[in-house]
Amino acid sequence: MSQKLLVFLVGLLLVSALGSYLYYRRSVASTPVDPWALVPDDAALVIATRDHPTLVRHLKETQIWDNLTGVRYFQQIEENSALIDSVAGSPSVVMGFLGTKLVLTSLHVTGPTTFDLLFQVPIGTVREYRQLRGLINGLGQDARYRVTTREYRGQQITDLRLRGTGHGITFLNYRNQLIMSTNAGLVETVVRRLEQPELPSIAADFKNTDYLQHKDVDAMLLLNYRQFPRFLGVFFRPELRPSLESITGLGHNGLLGMKLVGNKILFNGFTNPETTRDALHQRLRGQSAQRLRMADVLPLRTALLLHLGLQDMTRLPVARRSAPVDTLADRTGSLLDSLTASFSREAALCYLGSSSPRQIPAKLALVYCPDPLRTATLLGQLRRLTGTSPSFERVGPYRIYQGGVPELPSRLLGAFLRASMRLP
């Protein structure tokens, strides 16, 4: 082979490599990445933040910051941030890196009693990329840490671990989108999701809504109600799981804007209803919506109100217990059906505020009776049938009677109310 031909082939190879690089920079790397498309589908909660210095300042003005710093998981995040500032040799490096970028923090249940967070932070400039590489190299030279790089399904994943405990962080740089978590499995889940770009993102139902564009909104929360029972199961007893599923099953997903004002948190948003078979939304289809007319009779201690406005109460899923013949349920079944048919327009469950955090909040069921005389007659028949004393307690101009039937509200208004009444 002549020397001229060799030089020509080498030059052709260099030109091809340069062309491929330029094509990648212009066509692939320059294409913006939708960070929501990288969030795994099993996320129970996704928090989107943009102005992080302002957010941290507002959190410190409330008791929320003290509550967060009391949780061991968030203490580790704070310790890692302090370590990064120390290695970088400058205070507030992490806060400066976050700045006003759109950062997504998704929460995933990774065990019966555990959950982990997945962070997404965009890398905006070459300087930030070099800063990140310098930080990794600095930690790699520290004897306390072990930095390893591995390939997983065509993507390069970096693990940073403490040599003594194995605790640390795993991260992936995908087209200038830094994805990291203390749980390596979550990062690998993102890689597997990259192989299915045709799947809709977890925020597909809210693509035209962005509360972060509104003034004074500190964060935006996406709620995946289908995963909420698993998340709440981390904190509640297992026997409450069916009740939690009934409550969270009212909605499919929701989007909220969060605003911190003084020592209060204000939420504003909406929820998309669950549309699967036997969901409450499917049962109520075709019903005319009713406005809240019972506001005048709600207690002043009302902390939470679950209100249903519908014309036909019999559309609610009935909560009847299977029972043998001649039991109370069998003898009162037809009368309870008549009572339910006498209600219309409104039904609600009211949670009352408690004076102590250790006190279980009281719950009150309310329903509208278009014909009070007929309803009172049916209730009187129910008391006589169950042998309940006709005595009553007088409060102002009103009389309070005993119902005589266990779990009477849920038997009248359905399984949804039964689940709500059983929650602590």
pLDDT at 38: 97
Q: Provide, rounded to the nearest whole percent, the portion of the chain with pLDDT above 90.
A: 38
Per-residue pLDDT band for 14 (boundaries 50, 70, 90) equals low
Of 362 and 318, more confident:
362
What is the rounded average pLDDT of the residues 8-28?
Answer: 53
pTM of structure? 0.81
pLDDT at 248: 86
Query: pLDDT tens-digit profile of 343-398?
Result: 888 888 888 988 887 788 888 889 999 999 999 999 999 999 888 888 889 988 88
**Cα–Cα distance measured from residue 411 to residue 337, given in angstroms and rounded to the nearest whole number:** 9
What is the rounded average pLDDT of the residues 69-78?
Answer: 78
Could you give the angle at the alpha carbon of 24 between the alpha carbons of 21 and 28, nearest 5°? Answer: 170
pLDDT at 329: 62
pLDDT at 30: 56
pLDDT at 351: 87
What is the rounded average pLDDT of the residues 20-39?
Answer: 68
Q: Residue 283 belongs to what H/E stretch?
A: helix 280-283
pLDDT at 378: 92
Q: Quick check: 97 pLDDT over 60? A: yes
Query: pLDDT tens-digit profile of 209-256?
Result: 999 999 889 999 999 999 999 999 998 888 888 878 878 888 999 999
pLDDT at 325: 46
Q: Quick check: 290 pLDDT over 50? A: yes
Query: pLDDT tens-digit profile of 128-172?
Result: 999 899 988 888 888 889 999 999 999 999 999 988 888 889 999
Which residues, 6 or more positions from 313, have their beta carbon under 8 angstroms from its beta carbon?
A: 340, 341, 343, 344, 347, 367, 413
DSSP-derived secondary structure letter, 313: G
149 forms beta bridges with 158
Residue spans per domain, the chain: 31-283, 285-424
pLDDT at 323: 44
Q: Quick check: 28 pLDDT over 70? A: no
Mean pLDDT of the chain: 84
pLDDT at 21: 47
Q: Quick check: 4 pLDDT over 70? A: no
Distances (CA, A) of 26 to 31, 33, 36, 56, 77: 8, 14, 23, 36, 36
Q: Quick check: 72 pLDDT over 60? A: yes
pLDDT at 373: 93
**Cα–Cα distance measured from residue 407 to residue 245, given in angstroms and rounded to the nearest whole number:** 19
**Cα–Cα distance measured from residue 382 to residue 266, given in angstroms and rounded to the nearest whole number:** 44
pLDDT at 140: 87
Q: Provide, rounded to the nearest whole percent, the portion of the chain with pLDDT above 70.
A: 87
Q: Residue 348 belongs to what H/E stretch?
A: strand 345-352
Three-class SS of 245-279: HHHHCCEEEEEEEEEEECCEEEEEEEEEECCCCCC
What is the rounded average pLDDT of the residues 318-341?
Answer: 67
pLDDT at 336: 87
